[in-house]
């Protein structure tokens, strides 16, 4: 089965002016064929997220008229705007809405669902989206609107802003993408107001960003990130937040948006694989957005010099929101408007600067979590997640059912590159089940097509093995498909692929036609769509797992595990190991490396030397 949401890389979509003109022409034809006698541009099947959709299509028609001056468009813009002003503006409180600070304010808002009392929780973000659509119409409707409808639209926008910031609690869903979107709306609205009123709105907007968003950031993998539905990052909403930060920076020039966007972009660059696959998040584990991410990925990719466009988006939403039948939906149309206005293209060269939480070269990548344990390994077009044993998640040595990967002290990292080889050494103190302190040294080396992992630890009791990953997905053209195969993985010791013996929600068998997100939601505390799938996934008892036995020929006082991902299946893999006064020398078919003894460094820092080729005799760097 193919994964439903992660498809082609967003940078591969044509983004020339001619391509965008073709998109707008298609939007115009769909809208002109759809518009109802009363002026509605909503998709007939739209029920959720409906409060901003007609106005969103109106903004696209206004932009299309700017680009092509099609004489059919001005009447459609005026009729559809009149429809929104007449039929989609609500001033009576929505029954059951719990987040009001002022009852019966009379201020206008947009509804997530038109029926009174039906899902009122979505009214706050729907009003943010409606406000953004409104200011886009104000920005692009020169020559289209007379003074009276323009004034009514501006008054409506001011009313939306008042409802969002005065009549309700700010950001009631604790969703950064919605909150930053509201900040963007305030900044864009301020430009249409008289100077004194506009400056008041702008100052209020900047205070909201500082106090309600920036002050609540969450640290993950060394970065401070805007919180998304209770977590630091979400595959769907994180890139959308990045797009809102890009627009805030573009229209205001405020450096704080650039700084925060750079931090989020570097974080995203580190967690994304080379192929653009990612998994994890507090709201959706592996759902990816489409056109909503383009502006942020493109803007900040240029700023930090990284190929963020490799992000695999949902190509069904490649240009604009659409319904299951393929028809146009105006939801989030403002993002298409902004990306068309953002004329510079993609930065397409990968960043080569070492990043603590990422090892990446060519088609190989390892993303590390906060504990510097791999959270995702990519090699040979296959993606491996951390496996699970006895409720413990990760990559690392296992002895007597106990996984040695959770640090009990400072984690140290050393990055080295030479020629075509790139390496990262991670050393961490851990304690075993008997509270014995052990030092686990994990070396990751790649030549851009293969990944060698060597893990050394003081000799363990029993029959230990290395938990070496859960094969989960593989590239299949532009799509990603589920897999349970690991044919391109080799081990110096024994290698077995095990599956949980029990078939239930707490055991994940990679052979089943179920996604990680579906399995995680089955264990989440809340209903699908509102729970935390990452939290549910952590409740797994066991999963499919690659288990690598100890490598032969290791020094007597060590257990060494050696695994190779990628390369030709069945190719020989017989690394050798030698202990010496400078540390552990590891020789493979492609490199020789010295993993130094940290105790020999004055500051306890790990030492690492690396040379290409199989070198006999002295270790590298000696």
pLDDT band, residue 287 (cuts 50/70/90): confident
Q: How many residues are listed for the chain in this entry?
A: 622
Residue 278 CA to its chain's centroid (Å):
7
Q: Please name which of 545, 380, 346 lies closest in space to residue 448, comparing C-alpha atoms.
A: 380
In this prediction, residue 614 carries a pLDDT of 66
pLDDT band, residue 599 (cuts 50/70/90): low
Q: Do 445 and 455 touch, CB atoms closer than 8 A?
A: no
In this prediction, residue 527 carries a pLDDT of 74
Residue 230 has pLDDT above 90, yes or no: no
Task: Using the Cα atoms of residue 246, residue 248, residue 251 and residue 257 in order, give the sign of their dihedral.
Answer: negative
In this prediction, residue 357 carries a pLDDT of 97
In this prediction, residue 543 carries a pLDDT of 98
- Judged on CB neighbours under 10 Å (0-12, 13-18, 19+), 443 is buried
pTM for this prediction: 0.95
CB atoms within 10 A of CB 196: 7
Q: How far apart are CA 371 and CA 430, in angstroms?
A: 11
Half-sphere exposure of residue 613: CA atoms within 13 angstroms, side-chain side:
5
User: Tokens in use for 413?
Assistant: 């990292």
- In eight-state DSSP terms, residue 599 is G
pLDDT digits (tens, 9 = 90+) for 397-424: 999 999 999 999 999 999 999 989 999 9
**What SS3 state is found at 588?**
coil
Q: How far apart are CA 486 and CA 548, in angstroms?
A: 12
pLDDT digits (tens, 9 = 90+) for 137-191: 999 988 899 999 999 999 999 999 999 999 999 999 999 999 999 999 999 999 9
Q: Do 51 and 88 touch, CB atoms closer than 8 A?
A: yes
Q: Do 179 and 129 touch, CB atoms closer than 8 A?
A: no
Higher per-residue pLDDT: 229 or 62:
62
Residue 277 has pLDDT above 90, yes or no: yes
CB atoms within 10 A of CB 198: 15
Mean pLDDT of the chain: 94
Q: What angle do CA 80, 81, 85 make, to 5 degrees?
A: 120
Assign residue 305 a region (left: φ > 0; alpha: ψ between -120 and 50; beta: otherwise): left
In this prediction, residue 86 carries a pLDDT of 97
pLDDT digits (tens, 9 = 90+) for 480-521: 999 999 989 999 999 999 999 998 999 999 999 999 999 999
Q: What angle do CA 474, 479, 481 make, to 5 degrees?
A: 40
Phi, psi of 90 (to 5 degrees): -115, 135
Q: Do 318 and 40 touch, CB atoms closer than 8 A?
A: no
Residue 588 has pLDDT above 90, yes or no: yes
Average pLDDT, integer, range 17-46:
96
Per-position b or e across 341-379, b if 16+ CB within 10 A of its CB: ebeeebbeebbeeebebbbbbbbbbbbbbebbbbbbbbb
Written in H, E and C, the secondary structure of 67-120 is HHCCCCHHHHHHHHHHHHHHHCCECCCCCCCCCECCCCCCCCECCCCCCCCCCH
Element (H, E) at 241: helix 237-252
β-pairing, 374-379 with 402-403? Answer: unpaired
Helix axis angle for 195-208 and 176-190, nearest 10°, is: 160
């Amino acid at each position: 089965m193919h994964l439903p949401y992660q498809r082609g890389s967003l940078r591969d979509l044509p983004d020339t002016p001619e391509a965008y003109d073709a998109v707008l022409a298609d939007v115009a034809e769909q809208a002109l064929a759809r518009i109802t006698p009363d002026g509605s541009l909503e998709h007939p099947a739209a029920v959720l997220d409906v409060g901003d959709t007609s106005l969103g299509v109106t903004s696209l028609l206004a932009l299309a008229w700017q680009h092509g001056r099609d004489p059919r468009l001005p009447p459609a813009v005026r009729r559809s705007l009149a429809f929104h002003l007449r039929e989609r503006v609500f001033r009576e409180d929505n029954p059951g809405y719990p987040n009001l600070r002022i009852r019966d304010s009379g201020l206008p808002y947009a509804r997530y669902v038109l029926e009174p009392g039906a899902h009122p929780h979505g009214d706050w973000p729907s009003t943010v989206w409606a406000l953004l659509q409104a200011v886009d119409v104000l920005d692009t409707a020169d020559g289209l609107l007379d003074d009276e409808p323009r004034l009514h639209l501006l008054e409506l926008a001011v009313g939306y802003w008042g409802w969002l910031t005065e009549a309700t609690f700010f950001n009631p869903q604790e969703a950064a993408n919605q909150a930053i979107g509201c900040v963007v709306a305030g900044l864009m609205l301020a430009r249409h107001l008289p100077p004194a009123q506009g400056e008041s709105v702008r100052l209020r907007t900047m205070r909201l960003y500082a106090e309600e968003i920036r002050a609540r950031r969450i640290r993950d993998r060394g970065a401070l990130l805007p919180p998304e539905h209770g977590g630091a990052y979400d595959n769907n909403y994180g890139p959308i937040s990045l797009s809102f930060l890009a627009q805030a920076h573009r229209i205001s020039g405020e450096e704080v948006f650039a700084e925060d966007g750079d931090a989020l972009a570097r974080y995203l660059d580190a967690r994304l694989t080379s192929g653009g696959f990612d998994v994890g998040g507090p709201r959706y584990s592996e759902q990816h957005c489409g056109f909503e991410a383009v502006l942020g990925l493109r803007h900040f990719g240029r700023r930090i010099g990284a190929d963020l466009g490799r992000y695999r988006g949902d190509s069904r939403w490649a240009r604009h929101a659409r319904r299951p039948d393929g028809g146009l939906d105006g939801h989030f149309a403002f993002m298409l408007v902004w990306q068309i206005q953002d004329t510079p293209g993609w930065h397409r060269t990968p960043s080569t600067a070492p990043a603590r939480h990422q090892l990446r070269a060519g088609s190989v990548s390892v993303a590390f979590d906060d504990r510097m344990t791999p959270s995702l390994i990519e090699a040979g077009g296959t993606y491996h997640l951390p496996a699970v044993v006895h409720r413990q998640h990760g990559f690392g040595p296992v002895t007597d059912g106990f996984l040695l990967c959770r640090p009990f002290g400072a984690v140290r990292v050393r990055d080295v590159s030479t020629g075509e080889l790139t390496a990262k050494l991670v050393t961490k103190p851990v304690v075993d089940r008997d509270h014995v302190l052990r030092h686990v040294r994990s070396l990751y080396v790649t030549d851009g097509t293969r990944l060698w992992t060597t893990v050394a630890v003081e000799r363990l009791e029993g029959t230990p093995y290395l938990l070496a990953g859960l094969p989960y997905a593989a590239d299949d053209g532009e799509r990603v498909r589920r897999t349970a195969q690991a044919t391109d993985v080799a081990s110096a010791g024994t290698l077995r692929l095990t599956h949980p013996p029990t078939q239930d929600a707490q055991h994940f068998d990679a052979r089943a036609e179920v996604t990680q997100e579906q399995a995680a939601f089955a264990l989440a505390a809340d209903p699908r769509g509102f729970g935390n799938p990452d939290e549910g996934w952590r409740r797994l008892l066991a999963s499919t797992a690659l288990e690598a036995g100890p490598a032969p020929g290791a020094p007597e006082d060590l257990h060494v595990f050696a695994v190779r991902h990628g390369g030709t299946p069945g190719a020989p893999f017989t690394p050798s190991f030698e202990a010496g006064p400078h540390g552990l020398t590891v020789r493979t078919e492609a490199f020789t490396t010295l993993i130094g003894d940290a105790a020999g460094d004055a500051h306890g820092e790990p030492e690492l030397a690396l040379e290409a080729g199989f070198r006999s005799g002295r270790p590298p760097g000696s």
